[in-house]
Amino acid sequence: MDPEDEQAPVVGVGHWEGPWPDDPRLDPDLLREGDRRNVVDGYRYWTVEAIVADLDTRRHPFHVVVENWQHDHNIGSIVRTANAFGAAEVHVVGRRRWNRRGAMVTDRYQHVRHHPDVDDLVAWSQGAGVPLVAIDNVEGSRPIERALLPRECALVFGQEGPGLSPDLLAAAEAVLAISQFGSTRSINVGAAAAVAMHAWILQHAEIGD
């Protein structure tokens, strides 16, 4: 949304009206000035720390892994999607720095862990008992639409373009691909991550009314 666009809808709420609330989760500055953040209404006026603590009580047991050898600009959007679907953690393998613009500040609420190389990720996976499930349309992959995803797992994505590295493909316990029906060889890794996370949601999440 362009902040200079006078036609753009106003997001969030203004300053607090009424008796001052006695709730340690609320941020006094937001109460005084209003809350225009990109958060659901239930978290209006909450501090970042309070939101993270509440999310920690109900995150899903799936993780998201993305390789970052070439400073992939899609990582921000993947972090945002992981936050939307309540992922336990996002793991960035390779370069520590990544473009946070696409995350739309959701990285403040989403746990993000860095692994310098594939060996470090594999050591975490084995120690935590969380299997790596690669998502890549390579030879030998199976359709994700027909696969039963483990409840506890890490969905692994590669770089935009080259896809997953050979080392990470070899470390994965399963390799799945998103079925495609058009002429393009692949879809954007940010879109692929969203599709794969939602496949997990369809199989395991409790969907309320």
What gap in Å lies between CA 197 and CA 206, rounded to an integer? 14
Tell me the whole-structure pTM to 2 decimals.
0.92
Report which of 84, 108, 118 is spatially closest to residue 193, judged by C-alpha positions: 84
All domains of the chain, ordered by start, with CATH?
Answer: 25-58 (no CATH), 62-204 (3.40.1280.10)
Give per-residue pLDDT as tens, 32-56: 999 999 999 999 999 999 999 999 9
What gap in Å lies between CA 209 and CA 206, rounded to an integer? 10
% of residues, the chain, pLDDT over 70: 96
Give per-residue pLDDT as tens, 114-141: 999 999 999 999 999 999 999 999 999 9
The token pair at 201 is 């949601």
Strands lying side by side in the sheet with 62-68: 112-115, 89-94, 62-68, 153-157, 132-135, 174-177, 142-143
pLDDT surpassing 60 at residue 166: yes
Amino acid, res. 32? R
